[in-house]
Structure 1
Amino acid sequence: MRGSRQQELPENFFIPIPLDTNNITALSPFLVPQDHLGNTGIFYVMAAFMFFIFVVGTIINSLTVACTIQYKKLRSHLNYILVNLAVSNLIVATVGSSTCFVCFCNRYMIVGPTGCKIEGFAATLGGMVSLWSLAVVAFERWLVVCKPLGNFAFKPHHAIACCAATWVFAIIASAPPLFGWSRYIPEGFQCSCGPDWYTSNNKYNNESYVYFLFGFCFAVPFATICFCYSQLLFMLKSAAKAQAESASTQKAEREVTRMVVVMVIGFLFCWAPYAIFALWVVNNRGQAFDLRLATIPSCMSKASTVYNPMIYILLNKQFRTCLKKMLGMNASEDDESTTSSVTEVSKVGPA
């Protein structure tokens, strides 16, 4: 029954929960509040959460970019990649989270089908850039610390090229739904948009797109991250013995490694539920599930725009010290004394 109703509905419209009504098109998420999906309080709570993500994410990522522009000592190859994360977070916060805030306030996709596509594309693009950036950070750490290429030096222009590659990969992953391979439609409480992973439609080949997205933009980067950091952990253990006299270098390496590892764990915390949920639906067609639950992984993924910069600002003393100076705050002696040590990270290598 649900499948036959979907076929009768307009092209860009989908009701996630079967309802006993003869006028189902009157419930379009582009036309009327979706109060049949939950009480008003739930929508307003989600609106408040999206507003928080929008405001805090925009402010903290903007400060990160501004701080890097102002202080030359922050323009290292590792920090270039972290700034790349900040820019992708800004896209998700300013376009994705702000649109969701407005829609949750109105309790439906008030921006219409075009706005839905823009929001879905922006959130997917920013998310894919973030994931690939984390893979690049892990790859850079592996090259610099483990030295698999011998004396190869990872320089700023290499970092810039890697940052550009993350955007190319992200566009390859996020653009297809705009051109007919899958599509961007309302999800969950119908106040946010994402790729269509929950309907079976031969015209859009949704299943193949989900597999592509999971493999190319989740499994491959994650495998890269796991390999690089496993090698890095072995190398750090060896370096600790070989360079026991260089306490500052060892401390700096531990700080940066801890920072990126925490970022990876945090990113997986927000994006793994989305990927797993989508794969489960694709591989369990016909199984009953409540699509309102899709709102949870969607909102969790957008929260990465806040915790990513908080992690690398709180754990990167060089960033933190410069940020305090830019805001007119006095950096602590601990921050000042350890700032220079962070720049020594790239010098750690095998004995």
Structure 2
Amino acid sequence: MRGNRAVEFPDDFWIPIPLDTNNVTSLSPFLVPQDHLGSPAIFYSMSAFMFFLFVAGTAINTLTILCTIQYKKLRSHLNYILVNLSVANLLVSSVGSFTCFYCFAFRYMILGPLGCKIEGFTATVGGMVSLWSLAVVALERWLVVCKPLGTFIFKPNHAIACCALTWVFALMAAIPPLVGWSRYIPEGMQCSCGPDWYTTDNKFNNESYVIFLFCFCFSVPFFTIVFCYSQLLFMLKSAAKAQAESASTQKAEKEVTRMVVVMVMGFLVCWMPYASFALWIINNRGQPFDLRLATIPSCLSKASTVYNPVIYILLNKQFRSCIRKMVGMSGGDDEESSTSQSVTEVSKVGPG
């Protein structure tokens, strides 16, 4: 076929076929294996990878939630946000990653259009809650350490309110494709689903939806994270310079700098591929592209259910100590003591 005509499939699924692009399916991804997009070995490898994300992501996030329920000392305002992040990750790993594992094993979206919508919706909700939770963590650190509002104290009820807002924002992003503003369709190798950002049908206003996601659901959290952590770094560097003789202050400055770099890089690894690929598509309509490339952003976002807990929770000494106790390993009293000292040193650099 030639031009940018669309192939009509059952169940209201279609994708454009650009000129000279021969990697786009001519068979419904709801009906038959998509072997023209890759060898069975690739599909089975992806299935194994998704199974790992399902098992690891479900286990580590469930453990985090249970640990917080068991140990009262973990119920601080910051840890409420981390638990909110774990709930979002658990939703993505238990539904999104498991669905992808199952469909990759059959090499097509065997669960049909309804399963596609469920997977796309839950993955979008969980992903957006996770994304906004990372922004809330950054905001909380800025308010607590830098104290830009003077005597204002970030309390648990503020954390709970922020967590509720993350779900409101997530639903604002995930519901529109269910009611006609964009839609959920198979993406990449056609074994996972997400918002439609690569078709051109004006009926669904896909371009405006992608712009909305980029501006509201990516740019705002990203610049919030960058601003808050940059302010935190500036304050810590100033304190370290003023207290050059203090080894503990110098150590705290280095640890926080390393933490900030890891956090920002984790955010970018998770969301930059999706944002950049989607923007490239809507700004290069009609240009050939390989559908298999769309699998990469999907995999990276689902992998965040594992590496986000590692960054934000397992690197938290207090959380790590309690998890070790919960699973029967030796307690971490020394780690808890170290945590208290580290928090004290960081707090000293704030005004007031």
TM-score (norm. length: structure 1): 0.91
> For each residue in 1:264-319, what CA deviation from the matched residue of structure 2 results, as whole angstroms up to 9, or x when unmatched?
31121121011100100000001111111101111111000000111223321111
Contact 1:134 1:264 in 2 (8 A): no
1:267-286 residue pairs with structure 2 within 5 A?
A: 267-286=267-286
| Shift in alpha-carbon separation, 1:82–1:252, aligned structure 2, 3 A | farther
> Aligned AA for 1:55?
V
> Aligned AA for 1:27?
L
Q: Which residue of 2 aligns with 1:153?
A: 153
Answer with 256-265 or 52-61: which moved more.
Answer: 256-265
Using the alignment, how far apart are the partners of 1:298 and 1:220 within structure 2? Answer: 21
Contact 2:25 2:36 in 1 (8 A): no
1:12-91 residue pairs with structure 2 within 5 A?
A: 12-15=12-15, 27-91=27-91
Using the alignment, how far apart are the partners of 1:234 and 1:190 within structure 2? Answer: 45
Using the alignment, how far apart are the partners of 2:42 and 2:201 within structure 1? Answer: 30
Using the alignment, how far apart are the partners of 1:172 and 1:159 within structure 2? Answer: 20
1:1-351 residue pairs with structure 2 within 5 A?
A: 1=2, 3-6=4-7, 8-10=8-10, 12-15=12-15, 27-241=27-241, 255=255, 258-259=258-259, 261-332=261-332, 334-344=334-344, 345=346, 348-350=349-351
Using the alignment, how far apart are the partners of 2:25 and 2:92 within structure 1? Answer: 30
Using the alignment, how far apart are the partners of 2:254 and 2:323 within structure 1? Answer: 21
| Shift in alpha-carbon separation, 1:218–1:189, aligned structure 2, 3 A | same
Give unmatched runs, 5+ long, in structure 1.
none
| Shift in alpha-carbon separation, 1:168–1:251, aligned structure 2, 3 A | farther
> Aligned AA for 1:105?
A
What's the C-alpha RMSD, in Å, of the aligned pairs?
2.5
| Shift in alpha-carbon separation, 1:131–1:254, aligned structure 2, 3 A | farther
Using the alignment, how far apart are the partners of 2:15 and 2:150 within structure 1? Answer: 57
Deviation at 1:128, TM superposition (A): 0.9
Deviation at 1:190, TM superposition (A): 0.4
Answer with 92-101 or 338-347: which moved more.
Answer: 338-347
SS at match of 1:3: coil
SS at match of 1:186: strand
| Shift in alpha-carbon separation, 1:225–1:88, aligned structure 2, 3 A | same
Using the alignment, how far apart are the partners of 1:251 and 1:155 within structure 2? Answer: 27
Deviation at 1:337, TM superposition (A): 2.9
Using the alignment, how far apart are the partners of 2:18 and 2:94 within structure 1? Answer: 33
SS at match of 2:5: helix
> Aligned AA for 2:29?
P
SS at match of 2:193: strand
SS at match of 1:194: strand
Runs of 4+ in 1 over 2 A off after TM superposition: 1-6, 8-12, 14-20, 238-261, 331-334, 339-348
> Aligned AA for 1:167?
W
Using the alignment, how far apart are the partners of 1:257 and 1:66 within structure 2? Answer: 30
| Shift in alpha-carbon separation, 1:246–1:122, aligned structure 2, 3 A | farther
Deviation at 1:30, TM superposition (A): 0.7
> Aligned AA for 1:116?
C
Contact 2:47 2:102 in 1 (8 A): yes
- Aligned length in residues: 347
Contact 1:29 1:186 in 2 (8 A): yes
> Aligned AA for 1:349?
G
Contact 2:5 2:17 in 1 (8 A): no
Using the alignment, how far apart are the partners of 2:159 and 2:260 within structure 1? Answer: 16
> Aligned AA for 1:85?
L
Using the alignment, how far apart are the partners of 2:182 and 2:71 within structure 1? Answer: 43
> Aligned AA for 1:84?
N
Deviation at 1:321, TM superposition (A): 0.6
Give unmatched runs, 5+ long, in structure 2.
none
